[in-house]
Amino acid sequence: MNIAIIGGGISGLTTAFYIKQFKPEAKITLFEKEDYLGGKMHTVNKNGFLIEEGSNGFLSNKPDTLELVKLSGLENLLLRSSDNARKRYIFHKSLEILPESAMAFIKTPLLSIKGKLRVLGEIFAPAKKDDSDESLQDFGYRRVGKEMTDVFLDAMVAGIYASTPKKISAPAAFPAVVKLEREYGSLFRGMIAKKKKEAGPGGILMSFKGGVSTFIEQLETKIDMNIIKNKEIQKVQKNENGFKVISDELEMDFDKVVLCSPAYDSAKILQNLSPTISKKLFDIEYSPVSVIGLGYDALEHDLEGFGLLTTSEAKKEVLGILWDSSIFFDRAEKGKKLLRVMIGGQRNPNLALKNEDELIKMAINGIKEIMNIDIKPNIVYVKKHVKAIPNYKVGHLANIKIIFDKLKDINGLFLNSNAYNGVGLNDCISNSKKCAKTVVGIE
Ligand SMILES: Cc1cc2nc3c(=O)[nH]c(=O)nc-3n(C[C@H](O)[C@H](O)[C@H](O)COP(=O)(O)OP(=O)(O)OC[C@H]3O[C@@H](n4cnc5c(N)ncnc54)[C@H](O)[C@@H]3O)c2cc1C
């Protein structure tokens, strides 16, 4: 079995890894358009500050990521977040700690008494009668009320998807939460029932020593495959026995092809082979996000915690500020501090596309306004992601159903990336394991 994988992000690498686990004799060629693998998992070392351009970690309560790390023999790279990183903050009208217990929720100034009572009323709110799609805003307003949605859900969806409750589909982006309503009629009732059934520990935020790139670089060496970097695939054509994979100065034949590139790149690659799939892939929208890393040789601020997210109503230019050096100790040398600021998303897409100087100015200003830090950083690093994260808008599930139904007509062609069923590293890894099973025909 001769297989092409297009795209060397975590989805492509994990798919390759599991194909070899399930079928060691499979021959794999992985094509990547950049000169490095990892895609959105990429660490840059600037004067000893380890700056993540994208993801910085994953929660340990989903088994598939830890299984991949273990099977690839890379457990020695695992890095646990500091205990302080459990503390998260929200900036709505002022900077407040995210309540983690019922008592803290009662005391938090983030919601009014009326807003809190409305949250408690969730248990009595009637369940939706059908399975139709709806925005997170509509879902939130129905279940937990406007205030909770505009503060907590708004900040959370900015942090995970760089989106807004209005612009994202609840069933596509938060399937487990929507399932609670469908199965138990109420989120509270569902959570209580689940807690009784699965009394397991909550997840711990984990990453890798030296940043996520260390893991990617090591994983790359553990998979027996042919890796072709700096090669942007332009087209995949059907031929008699399988497929022809085409780029400038290269044409290679394969039995099967797995597209692990972002939806808009896969759409271009499939334009001739399946105009219908291609059109639907182009419909998957992406949110722009710029990441600004700021390193300080000395900073009088204890930065105890994971960081903060702002709400739309706070009307700040920054979506959030991550206190990276207090989450993972090795992101800055002892005594130094590293912050990462996120700008843009669906809330303010145009801000993410501003030039570097303007982005740095906005980041520094955000840190000053929200955290009261008014000193110049010693280093800055900007990564502009014009298309950072897929925005699963209302209609996403119907759209991907058409894509995957149509895909069944093209035997041997597969699609797998964060564009379809989850954007977190845990989702990408578990979806890639499933995809590998389908490719080798064991599921
Ligand atoms: C700013 C940011 C912060 C994030 N933080 C977190 C976090 O803390 N935790 C978490 O769990 N998740 C986080 N995520 C999400 C997570 O990083 C991504 O969902 C995940 O890394 C996507 O992996 P992927 O392999 O599906 O896609 P990508 O990483 O986008 O990889 C796709 C690859 O395909 C290649 N490619 C594209 N076109 C072609 C072509 N024509 N030919 C060859 N190669 C091609 C690209 O160069 C790229 O390497 C974050 C994302 C961003 C942007």
CATH of span 2-38+212-284+393-440: 3.50.50.60
Q: Within the chain, which residue ranges are assigned CATH 1.10.3110.10?
A: 112-125+132-197
Quick check: 2 and 254 in contact, CB under 8 A? yes
Distance CA 153, CA 155 (A): 5
Quick check: 203 and 86 in contact, CB under 8 A? no
Q: Tell how far the Cα of 12 is from the centroid of ligand 1, in angstroms.
A: 10
pLDDT, residue 202, reads 67
Distance CA 265, CA 39 (A): 13
Distance CA 136, CA 285 (A): 17
Distance CA 140, CA 132 (A): 15
Q: Tell how far the Cα of 54 is from the centroid of ligand 1, in angstroms.
A: 8
Cβ < 6 Å from ligand 1: which residues?
Answer: 6-12, 31-34, 39-41, 54-58, 232-233, 260-262, 265, 269, 289, 291, 385, 388-389, 417-418, 423-425, 428
Q: Tell how far the Cα of 260 is from the centroid of ligand 1, in angstroms.
A: 10
Residues 6+ apart with CB under 8 A from 225: 5, 16, 20, 27, 28, 29, 30
pLDDT band of residue 381 (cuts 50, 70, 90) is very high
pLDDT band of residue 406 (cuts 50, 70, 90) is very high
Crossing angle, helix 63-71 and helix 425-440, to 10 degrees? 70
**245-285 residue pLDDT tens:** 999 989 999 999 999 999 999 999 999 999 999 999 999 99
| Residue 105 tokens, joined | 């929720």
pLDDT band of residue 302 (cuts 50, 70, 90) is confident
**152-209 residue pLDDT tens:** 999 999 999 999 999 999 999 999 999 999 998 999 888 888 777 665 556 899 999 9
Q: Within the chain, which residue ranges are assigned CATH 3.50.50.60?
A: 2-38+212-284+393-440
pLDDT, residue 427, reads 97
Q: Give the mean pLDDT of the chain.
A: 95
Question: Which atom of ligand 1 is nearest the CA belonging to 38?
Answer: 49
Domain 112-125+132-197, classified CATH 3.40.640.10, yes or no: no
**306-359 residue pLDDT tens:** 999 999 999 999 999 999 999 999 999 999 999 999 999 999 999 999 999 999
Hey, which CATH number is domain 286-390, 3.30.300.30, 3.30.300.160, 3.90.660.20, 3.90.1560.10?
3.90.660.20
